[in-house]
Structure 1
Amino acid sequence: MRLSPFIVQNVDRIVDEWERFAETISPAAQTMDSEALRDHAKVILLAAARDMNTAQTASEQQAKAEGEDLDKTPALDIAAASHGELRHTVGFDLVQMTAEFRHLRACVIRLWVDSLQAPEPAHLQDMIRFNEAIDEALAESTAAYAEQVSRSRDIFLAILGHDLRAPLQAVSMSTEMLVRKAKLDADALKYVSAIKNGTRHMGSMVSDLLAFVRSRLGSQLPIEPVPMDLGDACRAALAQACAGQPDCEPVLTIDGPVEGEWDRGLIHQLLQNLIGNALQHGSQSRVVTLTLTGGARQVLLSVHNRGMPIDEDSLATLFDPLVRSPSEDPSLPGTSTSLGLGLFIVKEAVNAHGGTVDVTSTEAEGTTFTVMLPKHASPPGR
């Protein structure tokens, strides 16, 4: 008997063996009933049998062997993806879920081979097609499982970032009350200033973390545009970034009207991250130059610093999340984040407003980030 009809006729027997194997996977299987243990096994097997009966050319077989998406079976993919999601939910780890498919493959081949009286050349083709179907199912299950792991991690980070805000706010308010109500000497004021700077940097890190998680859980950062003056926002951001740094020498130049409608929180994050990046990677003179150029429909913001140029290899991944420059030193002042998220948040904030961001960096000219913001935020897709 060919393998495809063998699977259909013996599907319940095969699924029984799947269940017996799944029962041995601890500790998750100890709390699962028969239906949960069997999960999508029958659907996967029957979909694999149908896939084996589908005509396939030599080129399609080669493409499938190389992992391309030709001639995939929707029923098989949906069942396998659902299986991966549910196995993650009940507590199987990735190795345990993969072991299920390994056992399924071995079980089917063993039972089928035992039933054969004399192997035929067509049986080899059956085994190839069956292995292709199981590999496809395994790939879909693994991808779905990995997506659930990633989402769980992002949700955990969101909860962590949210819960960190309350103690940070308590520290910040306590330092403010100390300055206002207590008589502090010069040394104590320095300690309070250090606490305030540290709290501010931690707050920036938490904001970046939350923005990163939001971008991972959704298509783009949500915005709430309000009328604002970008010049005032730049002055406030420079004052905050340079607080406690006597060698910080910011220069702000404004040319033309720079009023518009933007999300105040995201613009603040964008400015803090660009200024913090310039302070961190700039030369020892700590000179950071911001230039605002207002037009009829848009505002150009450039942030420039002298110092070691960004190498070409780093430019390609500069705005990627969780990527840090090889020259980055977290101990230097002016660092707004040590998570490798700062420039990623800049890009996401700009995209949310329907703008663009570019960077040029040479030893002769220094490094310049240029942001174009429409005066009236127009997120892509709206």
Structure 2
Amino acid sequence: MTTVAEFIEKNRERLIERYTEEVGRLDAARGLSPYERTDTFPEYLSTLAAISRQGHRGDTTKTARRLEETHIGQRVRLGFNQEEVTSEYVLMGRLISGLWEDLPLEQQPSQEDTRLLFEELKGAMDQVVVTFSGYSQEDRQREKRFLLRLNALASEVMGEDEHSIPLEERLGALVEVVQEAMRADGAALLLLGSGGRTLIPATYTGRWRALTETETELVPVDAPSFVASLAASEEPLELPDAASAGPAVAEGVRQSGLHSLLGLRLWPHGKLLGVFYLGIAELRPFEPQAKRYLETLVDYLSGIIQKALLLQQLRQTNERLRKSETLHRLATEAISDAIWEWNIQTGTITWSGVVEKLFGYTREQLGGPFSSWSDKIHPEDRERVVHGFHEALARGELRWRDEYRFLLRDGGYAHVTDHGLVEQDASGRPVRMVGAMQDITARKAASEALRASEDRLRMAVRATELGTWDFNPVTGILRWDDRCKALFELPLESEVTYDGFMAALHPEDRERARTAVEWALQPASGGEYDIEFRPLGRMGQGARWVRSIGRAYFEGGRAVRFIGTAQDISERKHQQQEAQKRAEFAEQLIGIVSHDLRNPLNAITLSVAALLRQEDLGERQAKGLARISAATERATRMIRDLLDFTRARLGGGIPLERRPLDFHSHCRQVVEEVRLAHPDREVEVVGRGEGAGEWDGDRLAQVITNLVNNALAYSPSGTPVRMETLGEDGTVMLSVHNAGRPIPPELLPRLFEPMTRGRLGGDAASRSIGLGLFIVANIVHAHRGTIEVRSEEAAGTTFTVRLPRHAS
């Protein structure tokens, strides 16, 4: 497979000739000498070849940037426009890629090689845009970010429901977004009045916020003022110093301490909507890109305001229409579902089309005489419902309501609620009745299910010996069931109060319990309550522990009910305490034994080293001493792991000594040491990005050594292990990948727990006691970092560590 560099170098003269020829066809290149047309292209070809060979490393990128800046600057001086200079880099890509586009795939450069070429050309074109427009990628991203914020506020303003926020209540938030985007200290929005001759102050933000109530004077669009000038101008206008502008600027604006102003009109669809202007504290001109940025934001703001105004007018029109239509009003009040109308004078009923969906009848089948409805009422309900219906009319009532079973087309029955409103004529005589029938079958079933569920819950509570309590924060009334009182050894007939509950707690637990209750009653807590405490009842007989779980419910930001359960957890608590004592004793014993074993092991190590230096050793003796040395080293590693385990579990965490170091260089050095122990295995190391930071180098070496040794031990001997380091903003990343069988899924959740090992595999002599990954995780966490693992059959196993560059 041929590289891009090889194609460039073999065809260098041809590429220069073709480039010079095609650039000469541009209008701006007419009259230029061949040298001026070629410019820096030959040197740029060499740089592209270097990038193909070594990527964006070293001086290559700097050289490319320098050549691009030189070329673009020269083109600007010769009168080229942005499109012409950009087309030159498009031409470069087309000429170079044309060298292999007709060749078989195996003779073409790799995808990675081609990607590097086009990434470089795209970066050059981005630089062209920045040079000509002064509008960088960062500027465009910032613009997108604030347009998204405006769009989010627009969604609130123009919501489809009746509870959407009115425009006048959101104008301040919209203007604040534009002010923040422009990094201004104040902003103002004035909208055109209904007569089209005056501008009305709508909102002020920032330092001008206080002007909302004081600067309410209307501004004529033809007045000699800065605001009127904005309304008449097609381009953004600047005012160098508002403080010295006199009557051209409102008095409050002049006295605000803001000086330089920039503004423009809101002009959606060629019609004046209003004006917007902002101010900054210092005296300075505004950059061209700032004006373009403001034009984009205000154009978007204009669209939001215009759409919101149109929507507001539409809602007002709909509201007037709703109030003017009696049928619509009556149907809405009757909870619209299947709408019906009974003409009392003719005795006929008509239905809305929903009846077919709800009950299976067409409008014609269910419509007609009164009996077409009454005959379909369940026989057990019919007499009661029909009698109540006529009684309501006879008494002159204007509203009727009932609940009954109604026959479906398929022969079954639906539970319905039916209610109607009576319309009377001028003399008070009923002339028609409009109503709605709603299918509540599912609601009835849910209600029955809820009742059954509550019965089961009460039985479950009794079976689990849970006590229940109910507290009303508004009235202060607290109720306990019998089991709850028994937990506190109170008589069943005793009254319980909140203060009495607190007094019945162990003195050491009262403040903690009071804080937990007060927090649960705050809306910010979500109402959650979960605490363990000791009642006073059996202080002399061994502490009893109770766990109480509850939830608070809120209305209007105020807690109105607080309910929960209480359970005796004394036995479980005592078992946990005993287990904790046993675990701490075992870990202390491990620490003591591990520490005391280091001295004899050190003596063995020194003695073996002294014996190995003797010149008269036989081969058999040397092998025996080597085995002793290897066994001693394994024992030392185990002791070191045990000591780290003890520090992590009992000593408050593994201690660190941070020092400045280069992450990439340190990782490569540690891997070189691992390679010496595995000369037959391939370990790839790739590093990218900035590597400077502060870490504990020795502890970091433990992490790398453990992860790489694990990868070598649990992967097939013929496969490589890959380690990648990456410098990111504020963090560095280390990943170690190996092929082979994946880690069993049931082991993954506890892989970093102590005494845990993966599947069997690797050199038996190199196996540890199962503390390696536990210690690795504790070292990473001590650096305030994270570690995670992914293991799949196809993708292999990858451990990923992320560390902050500096201590938090």
TM-score between both structures, scaled by the size of structure 1: 0.60
Note the C-alpha offset of 1:51. 2.3
Structure 1 residue 346 corresponds to structure 2 residue 776: yes
Residue among 674, 687, 691 paired with 1:254: 687
Note the C-alpha offset of 1:308. 0.8
Alignment-derived partner of residue 579 in structure 2:
146
* SS of equivalent residue, structure 1 residue 160: helix
Residue among 741, 746, 752 paired with 1:308: 741
Which AA in structure 1 matches 2:534?
T
| Cα distance between partner residues in 2 of 1:77 and 1:352 | 42
Residue among 350, 356, 359 paired with 2:786: 356
Alignment-derived partner of residue 157 in structure 1:
590
| Cα distance between partner residues in 2 of 1:292 and 1:143 | 42
Which AA in structure 1 matches 2:773?
L
Q: Does the aligned pair in 1 maintain the 2:684–2:721 contact within 8 Å?
A: yes
| Cα distance between partner residues in 1 of 2:605 and 2:540 | 51
Structure 1 residue 264 corresponds to structure 2 residue 701: no
Q: Does the aligned pair in 2 maintain the 1:241–1:334 contact within 8 Å?
A: no
| Cα distance between partner residues in 2 of 1:248 and 1:267 | 22
Note the C-alpha offset of 1:370. 0.9
* SS of equivalent residue, structure 2 residue 686: strand
Residue among 283, 287, 299 paired with 2:720: 287
Structure 1 residue 224 corresponds to structure 2 residue 224: no
Q: Does the aligned pair in 2 maintain the 1:299–1:372 contact within 8 Å?
A: yes
Residue among 534, 541, 545 paired with 1:73: 534
Which AA in structure 1 matches 2:687?
I
Q: Does the aligned pair in 2 maintain the 1:301–1:370 contact within 8 Å?
A: yes
Deviations for 1:2-22, whole angstroms, at most 9, x for unmatched residues?
Answer: xxxxxxxxxxxxxxxxxxxxx
Note the C-alpha offset of 1:372. 0.7
Structure 1 residue 53 corresponds to structure 2 residue 490: yes
Structure 1 residue 365 corresponds to structure 2 residue 795: yes
Alignment-derived partner of residue 328 in structure 1:
760
Q: Does the aligned pair in 2 maintain the 1:168–1:199 contact within 8 Å?
A: yes
* SS of equivalent residue, structure 1 residue 312: coil
For 1:27-176, list aligned pairs within 5 A: 51-53=488-490, 72-75=533-536, 136-176=569-609
| Cα distance between partner residues in 2 of 1:308 and 1:265 | 31
Alignment-derived partner of residue 646 in structure 2:
213
Name whichever structure is richer in strand by fraction: 2
Q: Does the aligned pair in 1 maintain the 2:534–2:543 contact within 8 Å?
A: no
| Cα distance between partner residues in 1 of 2:645 and 2:707 | 16
Alignment-derived partner of residue 38 in structure 1:
none
Instruction: Pick closer, same or farther for the CA change 1:368–1:70 going to 2, 3 Å.
Output: closer
| Cα distance between partner residues in 2 of 1:251 and 1:183 | 42
Note the C-alpha offset of 1:371. 0.6
Note the C-alpha offset of 1:78. 7.3
| Cα distance between partner residues in 1 of 2:700 and 2:645 | 15
Alignment-derived partner of residue 375 in structure 1:
805
| Cα distance between partner residues in 1 of 2:538 and 2:676 | 56
Note the C-alpha offset of 1:218. 4.3
Alignment-derived partner of residue 127 in structure 1:
none
| Cα distance between partner residues in 1 of 2:807 and 2:532 | 43
Note the C-alpha offset of 1:349. 1.0
Instruction: Pick closer, same or farther for the CA change 1:352–1:54 going to 2, 3 Å.
Output: farther
| Cα distance between partner residues in 2 of 1:175 and 1:372 | 40
Note the C-alpha offset of 1:334. 4.2
Alignment-derived partner of residue 112 in structure 1:
none
Deviations for 1:318-340, whole angstroms, at most 9, x for unmatched residues?
Answer: 11222222x224753543x2x22
Q: Does the aligned pair in 1 maintain the 2:733–2:801 contact within 8 Å?
A: yes
| Cα distance between partner residues in 2 of 1:77 and 1:364 | 60
Q: Does the aligned pair in 1 maintain the 2:693–2:805 contact within 8 Å?
A: yes
| Cα distance between partner residues in 2 of 1:76 and 1:219 | 36
Note the C-alpha offset of 1:178. 3.7
Alignment-derived partner of residue 299 in structure 1:
732
Structure 1 residue 203 corresponds to structure 2 residue 203: no
Q: Does the aligned pair in 2 maintain the 1:228–1:259 contact within 8 Å?
A: yes
Deviations for 1:167-215, whole angstroms, at most 9, x for unmatched residues?
Answer: 2323333343344454556665554444444333332222221222222
Which AA in structure 2 matches 1:202?
A
* SS of equivalent residue, structure 2 residue 760: coil
The answer to which structure, 1 or 2, has the higher relative contact order (CA under 8 A, 6+ apart) is 1
Note the C-alpha offset of 1:223. 2.0
For 1:239-250, list aligned pairs within 5 A: 239-250=672-683
Q: Does the aligned pair in 2 maintain the 1:77–1:136 contact within 8 Å?
A: no
Instruction: Pick closer, same or farther for the CA change 1:167–1:290 going to 2, 3 Å.
Output: farther
Instruction: Pick closer, same or farther for the CA change 1:215–1:181 going to 2, 3 Å.
Output: same
Unmatched tracts of structure 2, length 5 or more: 1-484, 496-529, 545-565
Q: After alignment, is 256-265 or 146-155 more displaced?
A: 256-265
| Cα distance between partner residues in 2 of 1:236 and 1:310 | 28
Q: Does the aligned pair in 2 maintain the 1:270–1:349 contact within 8 Å?
A: yes
Deviations for 1:290-328, whole angstroms, at most 9, x for unmatched residues?
Answer: 222223522211111111111322212211222222x22
Deviations for 1:260-310, whole angstroms, at most 9, x for unmatched residues?
Answer: 221233222212221221122111226322222223522211111111111
| Cα distance between partner residues in 2 of 1:249 and 1:186 | 31
Deviations for 1:219-276, whole angstroms, at most 9, x for unmatched residues?
Answer: 4323221223334543453344444444233222222342322123322221222122
Q: Does the aligned pair in 1 maintain the 2:739–2:795 contact within 8 Å?
A: yes
Aligned residues: 270
* SS of equivalent residue, structure 2 residue 576: helix
Instruction: Pick closer, same or farther for the CA change 1:142–1:311 going to 2, 3 Å.
Output: closer
Instruction: Pick closer, same or farther for the CA change 1:367–1:71 going to 2, 3 Å.
Output: closer
| Cα distance between partner residues in 1 of 2:686 and 2:540 | 60
Name whichever structure is richer in helix by fraction: 1
Q: Does the aligned pair in 2 maintain the 1:354–1:377 contact within 8 Å?
A: yes
Instruction: Pick closer, same or farther for the CA change 1:138–1:175 going to 2, 3 Å.
Output: same
| Cα distance between partner residues in 2 of 1:168 and 1:236 | 28
Deviations for 1:133-172, whole angstroms, at most 9, x for unmatched residues?
Answer: 9x75444433322222111111101111112222232333
Which AA in structure 1 matches 2:764?
L
Alignment-derived partner of residue 142 in structure 2:
none
Q: Does the aligned pair in 1 maintain the 2:724–2:734 contact within 8 Å?
A: yes
Instruction: Pick closer, same or farther for the CA change 1:234–1:322 going to 2, 3 Å.
Output: same
Instruction: Pick closer, same or farther for the CA change 1:304–1:280 going to 2, 3 Å.
Output: same
| Cα distance between partner residues in 1 of 2:716 and 2:776 | 22
Alignment-derived partner of residue 103 in structure 1:
none
Q: Does the aligned pair in 2 maintain the 1:225–1:262 contact within 8 Å?
A: yes
